[in-house]
Structure 1
Amino acid sequence: MEKQRYNLHRQARLSVAPMMDWTDRHCRYFHRLLSRETLLYTEMVTSPALVRGGALHLLDHSPQEHPVALQLGGSDPAELAEAARLGAEAGYCEINLNVGCPSDRVQSGTFGAILMRDPKLVAECCAAMIAASPAEVTVKCRIGVDDQDPDIVLPEFIARVAGAGVGRFAIHARKAWLQGLSPKENRDIPPLDYDLVQQMKGMFPALHLSLNGGVATLADAKAALDRGMDGVMIGRAAYHQPADILLEADHLIFGTREQDRSREEIALAMLPYIEAHIAAGGKLGQVTRHMLGLFANQPGARHWKRHLSENAHKPDAGAHTVVQAIEKMQAARAQVQDCGL
């Protein structure tokens, strides 16, 4: 199996967080071109959709995405066990249980962050998943929800779930407020408590713990690793400024000697994938929407983003549209240089 080729505790030194509507297979293929080492995650897939709905297409991915983990949402141990088995059969090297999402839709299914209230059930779910799947089972959680005291809740939660056999956790260093805050507000308003997550590493030295939440740069990620965290999981920054986070990650985080690749080379490397996707009936915008931030913070970035945004939806849009966007970006960059700015 593909998962046997990877030391996931090493790959998880840096990971891109699972993000609904964002980290689909096109996004992951693109991110993999930027970093060969960083661990990638799927969007959350619910166990009812797989087991009761038979939506096995949700497990589709390409071998080029590896190392890649499947994130599941659910709260029924038997159902999660079957979903984990299906995920492992599909080739995923890790199965991650979502205990962090605060959305109303997730709460109504009795999974996500609401499970922070029931560590016994989470442990039962994880034990069932571990028994059913050869892939490593991990957990992504919050530090607590609502009026819980994270200093009490988080260590109790980790101890209980680790007792079921989970050895790796990604901890979003914020509470989730299940009433009164939207999912977006839950990503920004509750204060970050990095110190508490750091304390967990001291309390559970044998566990692999990744810090998640608010990490905006590769330098921030390296600083967290230097302070003793085992890993760092980055979400929105890795999506909106993918090259800033991922292009140097293999060298700075994993210590590998990769040949330097420019952002233009990454864009051109996507062309065969784009052509194959369109030949199979897909649309250009389904891929390029994930590439809009490739030149973020670079001269000409606005021209790249605008050309793709305005043209990717057109009936004749294709790989040539991406080439045109590169040319417009390069022309704008040259004009800036000619002006001496």
Structure 2
Amino acid sequence: MAADVNNVTESYLIAAKYGMRHVMDTLIELIRDNFIVVSQTKQFLELPVDLMELFLSDTFVNVGDELDVFAAALRWVDYNKQERLSQSGGIRPKVEEYLAHSQSGFRPNRSTSDVVCTHKRLAAKTNVENVCIKISGIDMSAAFDAINRNKILTILEDILEEDELKLVRFLLCNTTIETRINKADIQASFNSNIGTPQGDGLSPALFTIYLEHALRKTRTVIGDPTTKLGELIPREIAFADDVDLIGSQYIDIDAVEKALKEFDLISKEETEWRKTNKVGSLMGDTKDVERREQLSNVALYKLKNVWISKDKIKREIKIKLYKSLVKSIIICNCGTWALTQTEANKLDTFHRKQLRNILDIHYPNLISNKSIY
């Protein structure tokens, strides 16, 4: 499927170059048909959210603008190219070996649940043992855009093979950025020589390697724990660019800032201390469940045109979309919850209500709780 879209997109570029209008029209329809096929496969559920939204937009549900279809095709081609590199057997094991155990972002079998669970255990330890644990949270806003490409390539020289390094160097060179405001046609592209291109499978790996290299220096600056409690607790908890530095004594924030500035990861304008939330989760289970329900309702409403469509979108596809884009919000970090039976029953009731809405089952039509699952 990926190869089909890639080939058709390349053919479209050639046809556009020579002004072959009738060929371009045919190829656009082929691209659209291929995308519709993807939306009905398992591969669809593995796509980034922005690509999922493209599939659900009027561009593909109805007859969309040709430029929008072609832009989506280019986005798809770029996604597949980057994903193949980041998932290759040669790179991923090396990235895993380089990263510290404290980093939970963009890693297989790791998630925000690791971060939330660790914070809850630390909170429980302070309550039960009446000890003081100091946490300094740092949110490095726009950190992906701050990466020094020369430095990341230098770091990768000790991690990757020569051929892999050449591929990364090729992907980072000659990158351009275009400004787009709604659907206005603004031809104002400009070259970019900092940061990593976002929206692909390689950028997260590059960023986590870059951040790990910087954190290794901060660990040296902070020094080893000097108390027994400090030796028993983790020194840091990280998920992508959200990092919490932990200790039994106060941490020299100024020294940490100085170390991170050397890697262009921190600035007075874009970096905030002590305002980092715990990767979107509240520490209180009941409050966190309530917030998850509110956020899922917002996501459900945004896709209302999908739910009310009876003929164009099959029920099976609606269920897959619900599980991917709505239910995933409800159960985010649910493995860290300790709910009472009453709270669990309320959550089940909320879930069934959403299922009835997307399946258009309302009174006087009835369905049992068992059947709706």
**Same fold by TM (over 0.5)?**
no
Structure with the higher fraction of residues in strand conformation: 1
- Structure 1 or 2, whichever has the larger Rg, is 2
- TM-score w.r.t. the length of structure 2 is 0.28
- TM-score w.r.t. the length of structure 1 is 0.30
